[in-house]
Amino acid sequence: MMGARPGDWSPLFGGDPCPGDPGAWDAVVDFWAQRCADINGCREKLNQHTSIDAEGKTFGRLEAAFSDGADMVARISSEFEKASSITRSWQRKLADMQLRADEALGKARAAQAVMADTQVKIAALEAEAAKDKLPDPVIAVKIHGLFGGGGLMGEIADAQAEIQAAQRVVDGIRDEYARESAVVISGYELASVESIYAQALNRSPGGNPFSSPHEVREHLWDFDPELLSRAFENARQNPESFPKLLNLLSEMTPQEIQEYFVAHPEMALVPLFPEGTSVENTFMVKDWWGNPPGDGKSGVAGEKLSDEQKRALIEVAPGFVGNLDGVSYTERDQALRGLLDDLLVGNKWVVAGESMDVDTKIALENVKFSLDSEEYRKRQLIHLDLIRTLPKYRDNNPDNNVMASISIGDLDASQNTTAVIHGMDNSVYESMTDQMQQGQNIYNRREAHLGGTPQAVIVRAGYDAPPTVGEQAKGLPFEPEYEPYKGGELNAPYSSSVRRPDLAERGGVSLASFSDGLLATKASDIQHLNDSYYSIIAHSYGTTVATDSLTRMQGKVDDYVAVGSAGVKQPDINQANSVGLAVERGEDGKQNIYYAATDKDWTAPGGYVGTGSINDDLKRDTPDKILDATALQTGGGYSLDGKYWEDVDHHGLTENSDPGFFDGLSDFPGKPGPQQGYYTLGTTSLEMIAQASVGKGENAQRFVEPVDQWKWGWFSGERSISGDVSEEKVRELMREQELVEGNVVDSKPDDVGSR
């Protein structure tokens, strides 16, 4: 038996190319060999009765029955012998592949050690050279060799080549493992009872110990895996078939659950409903799962699951359970964290026979890093979608390989929740950690206005956003004709342009279902669907997505905040101004819709200016065209204590100090400095957005505006006021602006990130 497999395969990529323990196959080989020996003993006993020392038709039929029975047993014995042979062959091949893989890993690690040692030597020589006033040719030769070749750098190059060679060997073994395992899987299949029975039927059915093949199946397996697979597929295509699937799962034992999902990873590791499901189905899941716990039956979904069944599903079907609306978010987090860890160490993978690509691994590592933050607040992984890694749905865009949603705060306990939706050129792959910091900023400022009320901020990197402008340009010659998206067609052609609503509609479908699922999961029944406080904050193209979702939801959000909008669809604006969107109304009868915008944002107009000039269906406009929408302050201003809160300087969300950055201007014509984004701590915009998202939009405390508030204009000449002033000056400005103390933000905390 071989020793334990290496867990860390660095400096090589892809993990263990040939996992498994050859020694573990001894038991399998012996099992089938013993089964073959046992059943051959039965065959010999049957053969003893194939020649009865008697005459007559009755004895003849009895001899035929024994003969047929012996024939069937011989066929079964042959199947057992074949299984033993193929497993023994696989055992030998696996041991050989592991021997070669381990040898390659050893060479790569030796080369890595050489590189590390050589780099230490180079660093020492460079430190020595730095002490000399003139270049030291001896040191240069030691490092670079003569005529630009050899030396210590040559040793590093040789070591890198050794690692690359080892990587090629390991990749080749990984491909070999996929091929050979596929051969084993295809060959390691016993003939069905029907097949053996049909062969015997050519002579006589008398030897079959059961009255029909159906009884054989019933005897061998208490549930039909093919029936369960069909139920999964039917539910995915037609959610009305969902109750049958839940009922079948209720009837399975924990052991049967384990066996089925291990054999069907495509059902276990990805969402059943990639774009979400209905409110009705969510309530059904709650009852079936026991969320909250209870006794009895779950109606159309069959018996409630036992704790043992739930534990089995969380363990072996984490992608199914972890993305299923109606399951508690604590248990979803448990399932998806387990899946994430297993994926990163290579124990589970969606696509059988293929290794994980680098882009997908980076995205998963970003999720892991975001969950393991040192922030003291609880974080939950409530959505992890790898559907695009399946061959059926795969495309050439690494940004959508992994989609995820992470809650900052305990979502089950939260009494005031907001979902944060990103704009273009954002994804789990590109910017998950940045999105988490933005969500944390929002969480921190919301906390200042909630007075201890449990809250959660959901960072939802859960839709396929437009990529960079350069990537969009590559697709322009191949853009399909626009067709409104209604859901359920993941492979339908689409445009990735930020000026088209294709991706916004796809994102809108999934966001609407996500929001409805959250409301239903937290509601006691469908009559109280909107009882849980829930709002949406969206930025840039995310506002196109979020507004679209508000035309599709069954439930309602309490507040909607559109930030730096790249434009919303004209039909959505029309609906908002007629029957309304899925947004609650305030005491004034207006929908609780807010928007944050600034003249310094030069990027947002690129999403909507000129849209609809060729096709009216593509026209987009700004949220201020929604009659109920209320503008939020984004210019600089003072709190009662005279502290200055920064204005928004550009389209982005966080501070940018890069001197090469150019999108809007800072406090021009003063000396340019750090440029604040909409979610930057210490800005008026973040404070106003936070207030609006917790339900204080109508009665939000404002900021006192400076006398010479900066206005855009090439020759405006206004003076920039960005420093603190006295409290007396603030109250003087308040009187001029007819503001009373209760309507003004009282103070700016010393640490704006922790209040």
DSSP characters over 146-183: GGG-SHHHHHHHHHHHHHHHHHHHHHHHHHHHHHHHHH
Output the pLDDT for position 53. Answer: 54
Helix axis angle for 57-131 and 137-144, nearest 10°, is 170
Output the pLDDT for position 555. Answer: 97
Residue whose pair of structure tokens reads 């207006």 in the numeric block: 590
Choose among 351, 457, 366, 349: nearest CA to 404: 366
Report the chain (755 residues): mean pLDDT per 10 consecutive residues. 74 88 83 77 65 48 59 71 82 92 93 91 84 79 75 86 93 92 78 57 42 42 75 88 91 91 87 89 94 51 83 95 96 96 81 78 94 79 91 78 95 98 92 94 94 96 82 73 82 81 92 97 95 97 96 97 95 96 95 94 81 77 96 93 90 72 44 78 94 91 76 42 82 91 87 48
Assess contact for 406 and 436: CB atoms under 8 A. yes
- Which amino acid does the sequence have at 416? N
- Which amino acid does the sequence have at 439? G
Instruction: Give the chain's domains with CATH numbers.
Output: 22-202 (1.20.1270), 221-376 (no CATH), 401-467+497-707+723-747 (3.40.50)
Output the pLDDT for position 13. Answer: 87
Output the pLDDT for position 57. Answer: 39
Output the pLDDT for position 667. Answer: 43
- The first and second tokens of residue 326, run together, are 């109606």
Global pTM reads 0.69
Output the pLDDT for position 29. Answer: 81
- What Rg value do the Cα atoms of the chain yield, rounded? 33
Choose among 689, 408, 446, 417: nearest CA to 531: 417
Assess contact for 208 and 219: CB atoms under 8 A. no
- Which amino acid does the sequence have at 567? G
